[in-house]
Chain A
Amino acid sequence: MPTSAFIPAFAWQSRAILGRHWRVHLRKWHTALLPPLMEPLIMLLAFGVGLGSQMTALTWNGTSIDYLTYLAPGILAYTAFMTSFFQSLFSAYVRMHFQKSWEGQLTTQVRLEHVVWGEAFWAASMATMYAAMVCVVLVGFGAFGSLTLHWPWLLAALPLLFLGALAFSAIGLLFTATLPSMDHMGLPFFLVIMPIGFASNTYFPLPDLPVLNQISLVNPLYHLCEGLRWLLITGEVHWHLAAAAGLFVLMLLVLIPINMRLLRRRVFGDG
């Protein structure tokens, strides 16, 4: 494993790139704040409350729970996944290809490895921030008596969500490195987001099919959803959390060196 791909994660240059993204974000926080707050609110109201009221209780882990309770941890995990993937794919692609701001940064003491880590950290930070906003919305539901979770575990879940988002950003960057043009942006949604999303237990329990059970075992989002469900509904630290963490680390170890190589070829025409 080439350690040279991971050492730059700790360099000041990677933090400088992360700082650049924060600086830009903080300038437009008032407009940027709305979607991450409204989206989970609408989803929880429409699906959790609206659709949930039309449903009989779900059986999860042999226990009968209402749909809103089932949905809440799933939305938390899905927010981290989607936000990170979208940032590292769409936003990073625009900065690299159209704005050429990567090239500007690379004429300084910043090198490509730092830009890649800066983008990954930013995607993960943004995803964790959005997940934290989902937590706020969930607490709001709890305050109105609509939802009961093990609230202290919400805070404890954030570091794992950051790690997960970092791993998902590595998938996004893989597509940033390889997509031929903006017209192909639909591909990752069909190839990654939809399969991972549907086979994840986020919105509904997977039917008990052997094939789906096998697929879900290697789906990090599935383990994250289930791990968070155990943590927030029962208060138990379940092996799903360890499985999710393990898969996230594995994704980073495999994808980051590949991304570095592919992006070097893409940005400099070298390698």
Chain B
Amino acid sequence: MIRLCTTVVLAILAATTAARAVDVEIVFLSRDQEERLPLSFVDPIVEDPGVWGARLALDDNKTTGGFLGHTYSLVERVLAADEDIAAVFEEERQSGRTLFISDLPRDDLQAIAEHPEASEALIFNGRVGDDDLRINVCFDNVFHTAPSRSMRTDALVQFLVWKRWPRLYLVSGTQENDVAFADAIRRSAEKFGAQVVAESDYAYSAISRRTDSGHIQIQDQMPLATQEGGEYDVLVVADENEVFGEYLPYNTYAARPVAGTHGLVAMSWHRVLEQWGSTQIQRRFEQVADRWMEERDYGAWLGVRSIGEAVTRLNSADAAEMRAFLRSPDFEIGGFKGVGLSYRSWDQQMRQPVLIANKRVLVSASPQPGFLHERTPLDSLGYDEPESECRLQ
């Protein structure tokens, strides 16, 4: 890969006429965290999430930059569990770096967005989907390439409504993010004419994924936990922490499909996607990273590519100029989803189709046919301008 890039640069520099040298340094920020293991053994334990997406996009930017005299480099800062994010961010800002890809968890992201040094920086959030960051905790300098939680639930509920399966039985975990997912489902149901006809909580503590004869208990417990659904079409599970959702399909009390955080899921990226030219990026990614591309990789890829596209078109890496361009109607990038992706001006959320997939194949992609919007059908996903307090200028 590296050898190839060098060849390209040499071949092209000779032919470039209007090159203005631009040197672009991008900082990738993440934190080393103990992630909970997936319940299913066929789900890979992802090594180095996020950073490989940034590295791949950097290669893509370098190839394009080679034709224009633009160079790109990536500074990778992966923090230890107890390291202070503010100090690391400040250090990078003191070195004059302004472009940041954030693969950080929520609190860290907010810490750098609120940092006094952030005012002349651009931060691309490729990971956190919290809706409040799109409706009332608004940052001028943050662009969200990760879809919001409500974009996911809107995408999923649109599909269920399109299927004419509108009666939802909501079964939620009790942790904070499960509650947020359940809230988003209720909102999506109301928005698109579905109904949450019954609700249950699942409050059992996390169990080990590996137990002898574990299925016997699960086979008994899951029907018990799901018998309050009454007449419904789809069980929607809210389990963002991978505690029980995986055990629901085929173990529900009623013979109904499972969707939500498990079963049929709404994703920004998934290995099952092979449409819209994504074969190429899936292959390129696996060649360099030796694993599948995951959502956090895709979020980081979109951030680095947004920077690359802005530099290519502007011939400049000035943060203020780039911010204005990224927010303008002139900006769009291809993200292997069949339409151009752009940023909403009020909350700087990237508009994007959301994949509807099970573990083995792509089932659909939202927005669904018939869900219209005055600007673009993509804005039928997530909080729309009138529903958000963010008015970024």
Q: Do A and B come from one complex?
A: no
